[in-house]
């Protein structure tokens, strides 16, 4: 078998990446060891930036139709929530949507784009040379070799792709475990569930009449994650924690999870790259894992497609690791902080100072500036990549806001409505009659539009032109009014990001 790119793993990250590659015309095949989609959902939310990514590809309505929006989210289970609604986004909320639903929607989209998904196929070996990779895949017909230009490991924390590529995965082993359970039956008395929440048990309604309970049991928080969870253990722990077993019955899924925290030494080794849990694992504090993986995929997809399609400028594919590895480190660090804030309250000798520390953090969260800063980090709306060159406009690397614009013939559009094809979007806010001719050399890689702003945005005050990357981040911006200077800057920016014009 042959493919342009082999994606290993059909979770949210692998599916999102395959969609991005196929959108750019790259022949893509996913291999997945499971024979069926995973029915249980460890993750339950899409944070604001992830919803924005779906909006940029014209998919947001599919997700919104199946989910429930929540304007705030927790940080370390503190009483004061992060206020996503105060952030600069049309999607200032968390979308409560089970991971299984997210995967189903992404698989539907992948198949629409012609991605081949091979279930029941497990990677058992991988090697690479200067021209490509060879992946040994064991399927129903035995072991066969798949040849591709690149292979991407989206195969989780125990990634075989990462191990085969020799990429280190340093970090810390688990020292703390929590337990979750999805139940068809429980006591719906508000007083009972209120007491559970007050005692630190997370109670979340799921679709299909299920309810999820999540807790950390002080008496069993050092039990290894691989030890199975029983209904009897769950009931006994709830009684210890909140004085009632909450009437739980008919468990549909019981699972234990740990706080092992690791970050790949590099997200790339030659023609092998990593994304999602294959690149970073951590305790599921604030629900950031799935979302970080989706954003890895969005960053990598267009860059890898550029390499496969032959127009990537020097260093473009390397910038994936340069941009996303620091994000992975920031996520692992903030989840470690949140986990510590919770864990200390469970250790008898630290309970009093831990309570004071949590009160201090909660007081800080009530400060608008602090709340906004942490909300921007957890939601990923605050993610900005370092500029490639000194002296760049402060906007460079930041996410492009979804401004309302007016184009030719007074057509009202939004910025994100220009991004579904996964191309660069060049916005001319000052008017250059030669704009289309100037960018013609980049062909279908760049959409050029002369527009005026309908929405005011302080950060874009005085900006005359802006180049938006396919992933919605700003590649280049200028505030100069000198037309000749703008044209020179524009050509340099387009060449640096979209390759040499034909």
Decide which of 257, 285, 305 is a domain's last residue. Answer: 257
Whether the per-residue pLDDT at 307 is higher than 90: the answer is yes
CATH code at 213?
A: 3.30.70.2450
- Whether residue 278 sits in one domain with residue 209: no
- Whether residue 213 sits in one domain with residue 157: no
Whether the per-residue pLDDT at 1 is higher than 60: the answer is no
- Whether residue 113 sits in one domain with residue 17: yes
- Whether residue 410 sits in one domain with residue 343: no
Q: What Cα–Cα distance (Å) separates residue 228 from each residue in 35, 175, 177?
A: 22, 17, 12
Is 481 contained in some domain? yes
For the chain, what percent of residues have pLDDT higher than 90?
94
- Whether residue 140 sits in one domain with residue 27: yes
Is 391 contained in some domain? no
Residue 426: closest CA among 498, 361, 371 = 498
- Whether residue 165 sits in one domain with residue 112: yes
CATH code at 40?
A: 3.50.50.60
Give the tens place of pLDDT for each residue, 195-218: 999 999 999 999 889 999 999 999
137: β partners: 123, 144
Residue 20: closest CA among 5, 2, 37, 9 = 5
State the chain's mean pLDDT as an integer: 95
Give the tens place of pLDDT for each residue, 96-107: 999 999 999 999
Phi, psi of 414, deg, nearest 5: -110, 155
Range of the domain at 184: 177-257
The reported pLDDT for the residue numbered 409 is 75
- Whether residue 196 sits in one domain with residue 236: yes
- Whether residue 183 sits in one domain with residue 299: no
Give the tens place of pLDDT for each residue, 309-326: 999 999 999 999 999 999
Is 415 contained in some domain? yes
Read off the pLDDT of each residue in 5-33 and give the average, rounded to a whole number. Answer: 98
- Whether residue 273 sits in one domain with residue 139: yes
- Whether residue 422 sits in one domain with residue 477: yes
Q: Give the pairing type, strands 404-406 and 412-414.
A: antiparallel
Decide which of 257, 285, 312 is a domain's last residue. Answer: 257
Is 7 contained in some domain? yes
CATH code at 467?
A: 3.40.30.120
The reported pLDDT for the residue numbered 2 is 62
Is 389 contained in some domain? no
Is 388 contained in some domain? no
Decide which of 257, 276, 309 is a domain's last residue. Answer: 257
- Whether residue 325 sits in one domain with residue 300: yes
For the chain, what percent of residues have pLDDT higher than 70?
100
Task: Please identify which residue in the block is written with the tokens 């092992």.
Answer: 260
Give the tens place of pLDDT for each residue, 229-267: 999 999 999 999 999 999 999 999 999 999 999 999 999
Is 385 contained in some domain? no
- Whether residue 332 sits in one domain with residue 320: yes
Whether the per-residue pLDDT at 430 is higher than 70: the answer is yes
Is 108 contained in some domain? yes
Give the tens place of pLDDT for each residue, 375-399: 999 999 999 999 988 889 999 999 9
Output the pTM of the full model. 0.96
Which long-range contacts does 411-417 make (Cβ < 8 Å, 24+ apart)? 412/454, 413/451, 415/468, 416/52, 416/55, 416/56, 416/472, 417/58
Percentages of the chain per state (helix, strand, coil), in multiples of 5 = 40, 25, 35
The reported pLDDT for the residue numbered 402 is 96
Task: Please identify which residue in the block is written with the tokens 């709306």.
Answer: 381
Q: How many folded domains does the chain comprise?
A: 3
Whether the per-residue pLDDT at 118 is higher than 90: the answer is yes
The reported pLDDT for the residue numbered 408 is 79
């Amino acid at each position: 078998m042959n493919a342009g790119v082999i994606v290993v793993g059909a979770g949210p990250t692998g599916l999102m990446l395959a969609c991005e590659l196929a959108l750019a015309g790259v022949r893509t095949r996913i291999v997945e060891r499971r024979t069926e989609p995973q029915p249980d959902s460890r993750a339950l939310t899409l944070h604001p930036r992830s919803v924005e990514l779906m909006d940029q590809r014209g998919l947001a309505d599919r997700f919104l139709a199946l989910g429930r929006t929540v304007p705030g989210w927790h940080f370390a289970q503190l009483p004061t929530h992060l206020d996503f609604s105060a952030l600069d986004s049309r999607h200032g909320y968390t979308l409560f949507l089970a991971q299984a639903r997210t995967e189903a929607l992404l698989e539907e989209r992948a198949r629409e784009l012609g991605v081949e998904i091979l279930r029941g196929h497990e990677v058992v070996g991988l090697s690479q040379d200067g021209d490509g990779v060879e992946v040994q895949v064991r399927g129903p017909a035995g072991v066969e070799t798949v040849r591709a230009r690149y292979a991407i490991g989206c195969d989780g924390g125990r990634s075989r792709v990462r191990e085969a590529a020799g990429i280190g995965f340093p970090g810390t082993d688990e020292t703390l475990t929590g337990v979750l359970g999805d139940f068809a039956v429980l006591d719906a008395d508000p007083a009972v569930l209120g007491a559970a929440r007050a005692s630190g048990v997370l109670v979340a309604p799921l679709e299909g009449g299920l309810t999820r309970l999540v807790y950390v049991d002080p008496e069993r928080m050092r039990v290894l994650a691989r030890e199975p969870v029983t209904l009897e253990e769950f009931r006994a722990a709830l009684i210890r924690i909140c004085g009632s077993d909450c009437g739980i019955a008919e468990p549909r899924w019981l699972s234990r999870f740990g706080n092992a925290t690791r970050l790949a030494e590099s997200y790339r080794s030659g023609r092998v790259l990593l994304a999602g849990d294959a690149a970073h694992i951590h305790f599921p504090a604030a629900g950031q894992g799935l979302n970080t993986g989706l954003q890895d995929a969005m960053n990598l997809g267009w860059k890898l497609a550029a390499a496969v399609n032959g127009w990537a400028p020097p260093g473009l594919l390397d910038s994936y690791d340069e941009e996303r590895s620091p994000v992975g480190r920031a996520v692992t660090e903030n989840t470690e902080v949140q986990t510590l804030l919770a864990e200390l309250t469970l250790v008898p000798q630290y309970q009093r100072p831990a309570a004071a520390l949590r009160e201090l953090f909660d007081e800080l969260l009530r400060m608008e500036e602090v709340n906004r800063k942490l909300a921007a980090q957890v939601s990923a709306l605050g993610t900005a990549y370092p500029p490639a060159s000194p002296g760049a406009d402060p906007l460079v690397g930041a996410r492009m806001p979804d401004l309302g614009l007016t184009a030719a013939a007074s057509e009202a559009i939004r910025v994100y409505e220009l991004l579904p094809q996964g191309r660069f979007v060049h916005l001319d806010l000052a008017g250059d009659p030669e704009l289309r001719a100037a960018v013609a050399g980049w062909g279908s890689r760049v959409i050029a539009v002369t527009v005026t702003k309908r929405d005011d945005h302080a950060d874009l005050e005085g900006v005359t032109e802006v180049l938006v990357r396919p992933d919605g981040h700003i590649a280049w911006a200028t505030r100069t009014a000198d037309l000749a200077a703008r044209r020179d800057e524009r050509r340099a920016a387009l060449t640096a990001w979209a390759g040499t014009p034909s």
